Amino acid sequence: MLHLIGVLLIVGSPIHKTFKDTILQHQGTADSIKRVDLPTVEIIKKTYQPAQDLNRLSQRIAFEHSGRPIARQLEAMPGVTVLSSGGQLAKPVVNGLHSQRVLILQDGVRLEGQAWGSDHAPEIDPFQEGDWVLLQAASSLRHGPEALGGVLDQQVSPLLQHGHWDVHASAVGMMNSGLMGAHLRLQGPLDRNARWQIRWQGSGQRSGNYRIPGTYMANTGHRENSNTLELQYNNRRWMVQQSLRIYQLRQGLYPGAHVENTNDLQNALNSPLPLWPGSWGYQLDRPLQEVLHKQYNLRIQRGHHHGGLSSLRYGYQDNLRQEWDSRSFLPLPEMALALGTHHASYTYTKTIRNWRWEQAIGIMFQQNLNEPSNARQFIRNYQSLNPWAYTLITWDSRSWGEQEWAIRYDEVHFNSYYRPPGTGIDDAVTRDTRDFRRWSAAWTWQWTIPTTALRLRLNAGSGWRPPSANELYANGLHQGMAALEQGNPRLVPEQTQLINLGLEWKYKSLEFQSQAGLRAIRDYIFLEPQSMPATTVNGVYPQFAFVGRDANLRHWNNSLRQNLGNGWKISLSTAWIRGRDIEHQNWLVWMPSDRWSIGLHHLPPSSNTSSRRVSRWNTLQAGLEFQQVARQNRVPVDSTGQQILDYAPTPIGYSLLRFYIGGRLMGEHLHWIVSMENALNTRYRDYLNRLRYFADEPGRNLCFRIQYHLHRH
């Protein structure tokens, strides 16, 4: 009766509307027509637009930032900041949480490369089309217990059911680093009935050393390319989708962070300019990092006569990470990790009037291996097996709004094995086996107050997260961070309780959103700076260790948009986060600074507007944005109020100015935009950039972007 046969799915990806329509058309008999009513169709449609879409980064806005790392593009969402170590190595931070606490999905598939630590960026094509949505409701639990920290879902554009081929191309150029990138997408039918659809897209970009005010940063260029092939078959009740993605990144790392002795380290920390000389160029030298990501996904969906929907999904990811140290001349990388992950799941969804029921079971198997060429072993070899089950019940009432109840059970069987340095092949292997079992639960209520434009969202939940392999066993140099990290085998799973309250008000030309949240985490795991740097044969590095403490996190995000008429709009956003170490009665490290931004934008009218009423000026897109980031004063301090547990004082606050202008040509088939980032060439350092110990953030950057669509869909 549960229709639970098989194994992992994510229903977050939309099912194509045409597939739904063909299901209804196929039910042509009188009996089948009686079994399908309009409320059922509407409820299924609602799953495509989850109620938890509080934050959305549209494809149009993403185009204005295309070519930048995905984490940088997501900064346009309130409450989303970036943890980085310079260059392309940046990952999103959602209300103070990052890495395994924030799941990143691409077309409903979670990326697994975050298990290697905080200097590993998401393996996503920066040109990939589709809206980004921050999911924070009960239904997010379908993606994993860690999803209570938030799910960043890139909802890739569905394959369109039309009978002709479509071409889309784009290009980007940035003056600061000499970045050049291009993207091409081809899509069309393979047969006369358009049941078979295919889409290929590929992109590539390269950049050189980026410039900060006063000089260039040595060895900070990168090479990046991505290819995706998708194939879809749609035949009335059945839809089968397959995709293959290959992503590669080769990133240079700033060599000035690798110093010989403590005096050099102190000089580098105190210098206003980087001590390592830099100049313009595209050459990549040691130290550097290379990432190769391969992903295959298969999804099979079937609509039933009684209105239910079955979905079976299998996915495999292969991640390879290699690092070349600065003080070695061997041709092989000093560190090479291979991470393979299998996902499988089965999901059944059923709608009866205003009730919706979703159940799923799945399993994940993951294995991490150190390649034989490794001169150092940063993370142990390990295997992880995670069977799980999930249930969601949704009730939609005109009087009481929509409610979601979700519950999930996970078992994690973790086994690591390690051979200490100096031991032979016949010596015993050190093994560590751990088993974790926990329940997660969440509830979401959304209600529009009658006769008002006010909508309330309440989300509460309890979840957990087992410690990851790098948190348990990291031991050695982290090249991307230019730091020594030490794992902690005594760590236990995090347990979290949260409550979020959201408010949305839309009245005439005014839109306002506000969200406040409180999160209590027992045994919160974070990387704590140590009092003294570490001295190794490779040099002297800042030293960090993983610890687990009870903590509280609070956040408050606001967004306001007001139409001024004639295409003009003003926007305002604020973000506020507080993190406390309850055990030590002190502030937590690595919490984002308070920030606010204001912008004035002019948007062209929609394509439905009569061309006779649109002037040449009204076809232009233009805007001005100002952002203010405060100094992070809420850091661990001693009894006298002096900052402790950091190698340099927190950087001062800063202000950034950005402006852009663009437009559409050739009947809106061609879209262009020119922007200026950090227009005032402000000299600043961001608290969440680990490279702030040694250098400033990039200076003024003039960007050019162009996009062409053969057909407008």
Q: 611 exposed, middle or buried (CB, 10 Å; 0-12, 13-18, 19+)?
A: exposed
More confident residue, 393 or 541: 393
pTM across the whole model: 0.86
24 bridge partner residues: none
pLDDT in tens, 301-358: 999 888 899 999 999 999 999 988 877 777 888 888 999 999 999 999 999 989 999 9
Burial 113-137 (b: 16+ CB within 10 A, else e): bbbbbbbbbbbbbbbbbbbbbbbbb
The arithmetic mean of pLDDT across residues 140-162, rounded, is 84
Residue 601 in tokens: 């934008």
Query: What integer pLDDT is reported at residue 616 of this predicted model?
Result: 55
d(CA 680, CA 482): 30
The arithmetic mean of pLDDT across residues 382-400, rounded, is 94
pLDDT in tens, 41-92: 333 333 333 433 447 887 778 788 888 888 898 988 888 999 988 777 888 9
Query: What integer pLDDT is reported at residue 11 of this predicted model?
Result: 33
pLDDT in tens, 410-422: 999 999 988 776 6
Mean pLDDT of the chain, nearest integer: 85
pLDDT in tens, 698-713: 999 999 999 998 876 5
The interaxial angle of helices 38-46 and 17-26, nearest 10 deg, is 160
Give the Å distances, CA to CA, from 641 to 525, 635, 636, 637, 638.
24, 10, 9, 5, 5
Query: What integer pLDDT is reported at residue 422 of this predicted model?
Result: 63
Query: What integer pLDDT is reported at residue 630 of this predicted model?
Result: 97
pLDDT in tens, 674-696: 999 999 999 999 999 988 988 99
Residue 661 has pLDDT above 70, yes or no: yes
Q: 219 exposed, middle or buried (CB, 10 Å; 0-12, 13-18, 19+)?
A: buried
Residue 186 has pLDDT above 50, yes or no: yes
pLDDT in tens, 451-468: 888 999 999 999 999 999
Q: What is the CATH number of domain 17-709?
A: 2.40.170.20
Residue 277 has pLDDT above 90, yes or no: no
Query: What integer pLDDT is reported at residue 236 of this predicted model?
Result: 78
d(CA 554, CA 556): 7
- One DSSP character per residue, 470-507 reads HHHH-EEEETTTTEEEE--TT---EEEEEEEEEEEEEE
Confidence of residue 567 (pLDDT cuts 50, 70, 90): confident
Delimit the domains of the chain by residue range: 17-709
How many other β-carbons are positioned within 10 Å of the β-carbon of residue 211? Answer: 21
pLDDT in tens, 481-511: 667 888 999 999 999 999 999 999 988 889 9
Confidence of residue 633 (pLDDT cuts 50, 70, 90): very high
